[in-house]
Copies of this chain bind each other. A is one copy, B any other.
Amino acid sequence: MAKEGYEAASIREIAQAAGLAPGLVHHYVPDKESLLVALTEDLGARWLTRLDEAEGLAPEARLRRLIELHLSLDEARPEELGCWLQIIAEAARRPSVGAVWAEVVVGLRAKLVGALTALAESRGRRLDVEAGAAALLALIYGGLTLGPSAGGPPGYAAAAAWALTEGLLAAAPAADGPSQAAG
């Protein structure tokens, strides 16, 4: 199911690609929109699960792994990436898709917030992890969407994500205590 859902395709094509009769799709799903919602839920759950593999790592490696897992999508799973781009485009128009997408984003951000928090702690910095996670998300998503058309050298996005992190950490106050931070 995950391979099909480009939504530019017709239900007839989706069904054909899945080897089903056109009418059968509506046995499992009331709507074409619901099909996309179901696909989003499925894909989102799998993706969040896959990100768990970064969980045990040391702070820096953990964040690097999260970034890399995302940015490798375009080479490792181009079909899945295509699904996501479709989903995000539809999320802006269809509330039902938008709601599921928002949930996925919450999950992704939580991972990033966790990794950023651990990293900031290990560096002794007081970082605005919410803003940092949002920025990393935006950079990752922009990198994936623009893809080759952004025109950077290979791996620019991962390098930039790291530069962004370091930049944010450098700008963050030390965590020794409110007073010392200011000092």
- Contacts A152-B130, A170-B166 known; A135 to B141 CB distance under 8 Å? no
Taking CB atoms and an 8 Å cut-off, the chain A residues in 112-153 that contact chain B are 128, 130-135, 137-143, 145-146, 149-153
A28 to B105, CA, bound (A): 42
Give per-residue flags for A70-95: 1 if the beta carbon is below 8 A from chain B beta carbons, else 0: 00000000000010010011011100
Contact (Cβ within 8 A) B85 A151: no
Give the complex CA separation of A130 and B150 in angstroms.
9
Q: Is A51 an interface residue (CB 8 A)?
A: no
Asked if A134 contacts B151 (CB within 8 A), the reply is: yes
Which residue in B106, B139, B153, B157 is a CB contact (below 8 Å) of A151? B106
Q: Classify the secondary structure of A's interface with B.
A: helix
A159 on interface, CB distance cutoff 8 Å: yes
Q: When chains A and B are docked, how far (Å) is the Cα of A140 from the Cα of B89?
A: 17
Interface residues on A, range: 35 or more
Tallying the copies of this chain within the complex gives 4
Judge whether B164 and A105 touch: CB under 8 Å.
no
Choose one: B98, B109, B135, B156; the contact of A134 (CB below 8 Å): B156
Q: Is B150 a contact of A134 with CB atoms below 8 Å?
A: yes
B167 near A163: Cβ-Cβ < 8 Å: yes
List chain B residues, Cβ under 8 A from A164.
135, 139, 160, 163-164, 167
Q: Per a CB cutoff under 8 Å, which of B133, B135, B150, B168 touches A137? A: B150
User: Do B143 and A138 have beta carbons less than 8 Å apart?
Assistant: yes
The 10 A-B residue pairs with the shortest CB-CB distance in the complex, in nearest-first order: A134-B152, A167-B167, A142-B142, A135-B160, A138-B142, A163-B167, A141-B142, A131-B156, A138-B143, A134-B150
19 residue pairs bridging A and B, Cβ less than 8 Å apart: A8-B93, A85-B89, A89-B89, A101-B149, A105-B151, A130-B156, A131-B152, A132-B160, A133-B152, A134-B152, A135-B139, A135-B157, A135-B160, A135-B164, A138-B143, A139-B142, A141-B146, A163-B168, A166-B171
